[in-house]
């Protein structure tokens, strides 16, 4: 359980996991010992791994094309990388928080072994209709609420206007706009995505943008992660 970092200096009670792989290549790159001015926030399912629906086993964790290269590009540019993910599967009792932490550490290692470094994962285990009482709540972390983004911005000591986010759903874009990030990249369903969450999402995005007209967040739709410019 020592991978949890869910209490210290964390006013919103946002849960997070620190990358505990310690490889010489990345020594000094973790969030606690180096300073960065920019932060890249990544949604997980649909951006890092193909969204097969409630992925919770490494065997089902298929990397999205270009994600390792994208993280490497951010590393080289001195930009911190963190994941912000809704994981209601925990609250729904489909997998445990411990399993999620283990999978996240495994994911950190997979990236590390390919020369890419992700600093941290922020996650929301809650759902208003969660089967497990402890997780049944209207929280401040479940996207499009902005708790995870605010916590990350505070932890990394960056300005929101120096942060970008990539997500595959309109709610990710909404979250980025509400947290006043500089850029939001909308990356709709990639091939192999078997979730139905993205059906009609183009329309959803247009509706969203009209609702947030006048926001300073620059929203771009991308078809490939190589199109992301920091």
- Residues of this chain that bind Mg ion (CB under 5 A): 43, 45-46, 168
124 binds, among Mg ion, Zn ion, none (CB under 5 to 8 A by kind): Zn ion
Binding marks (x or -) toward Zn ion, 134..153, rule CB under 5 A?
Answer: -----x-xx-----------
126 binds, among Zn ion, Mg ion, none (CB under 5 to 8 A by kind): Zn ion
Which element (helix H / strand E) includes 218? strand 218-221
Closer residue to Mg ion (CB): 5 or 168? 168
Give the residue at shortest CB distance from Mg ion: 46
139 binds, among Zn ion, Mg ion, none (CB under 5 to 8 A by kind): Zn ion
| CA 73/CA 88 separation, integer angstroms | 30
If you count them, how many residues does the chain have?
A: 230
Dihedral sign for Cα atoms in the order 99, 105, 110, 113: negative
DSSP string over 146-178: -HHHHHHHHHHT--GGGEEEEESSHHHHHHHHH
Among the candidate windows 67-75, 131-139, 162-170, 195-203, which touches Zn ion by CB under 5 A?
131-139
45 binds, among Mg ion, Zn ion, none (CB under 5 to 8 A by kind): Mg ion
Supply the minimum distance, in Å, between the C-beta of residue 22 and Zn ion: 29
Closer residue to Zn ion (CB): 72 or 136? 136
Instruction: Using alpha carbons, select from 47, 45, 132, 139 the residue that is nearest to residue 97.
Output: 132
| CA 135/CA 205 separation, integer angstroms | 29
Supply the minimum distance, in Å, between the C-beta of residue 179 and Mg ion: 16
Supply the minimum distance, in Å, between the C-beta of residue 230 and Mg ion: 20
Residue 124 binds Zn ion, judged by CB under 5 A: yes
Supply the minimum distance, in Å, between the C-beta of residue 228 and Mg ion: 15
* Residue 63 DSSP code: B
* Residue 25 DSSP code: G
| CA 10/CA 23 separation, integer angstroms | 27
DSSP string over 78-116: T-EEEEEEE-HHHHTTSS-HHHHHHHHHHHHHHHHHTT-
Closer residue to Zn ion (CB): 63 or 132? 132
Closer residue to Mg ion (CB): 4 or 54? 54
> Two tokens at 220?
């771009």
Site residues (vs Zn ion, CB under 5 A): 124, 126, 139, 141-142
């Amino acid at each position: 359980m020592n991978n949890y970092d869910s209490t210290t200096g964390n006013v919103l009670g946002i849960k997070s996991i620190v990358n505990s792989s310690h490889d010489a290549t990345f020594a000094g790159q973790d969030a606690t010992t180096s300073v960065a001015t920019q932060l890249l926030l990544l949604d997980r399912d649909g951006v890092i791994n193909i969204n097969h629906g409630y992925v919770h086993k490494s065997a089902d964790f298929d990397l999205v094309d270009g994600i390792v290269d994208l993280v490497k590009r951010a590393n080289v540019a001195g930009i911190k990388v963190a994941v912000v993910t809704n994981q209601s599967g925990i609250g729904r009792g489909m997998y445990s928080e411990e399993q999620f932490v283990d999978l996240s550490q495994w994911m950190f290692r997979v990236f590390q072994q390919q020369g890419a470094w992700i600093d941290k994962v922020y996650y929301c285990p809650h759902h208003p209709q969660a089967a497990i009482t402890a997780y049944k709540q209207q929280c401040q972390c479940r996207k499009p609420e902005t708790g995870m983004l605010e916590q990350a911005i505070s932890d990394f000591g960056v300005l929101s206007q120096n942060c970008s986010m990539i997500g595959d759903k309109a709610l990710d874009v909404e979250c980025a706009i509400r947290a006043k990030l500089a850029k939001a990249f909308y990356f709709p369903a990639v091939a192999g995505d078997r979730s139905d969450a993205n059906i009609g999402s183009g329309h959803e995005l247009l509706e969203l943008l009209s609702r947030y007209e006048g926001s300073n967040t620059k929203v771009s739709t991308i078809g490939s992660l190589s199109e992301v410019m920091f």
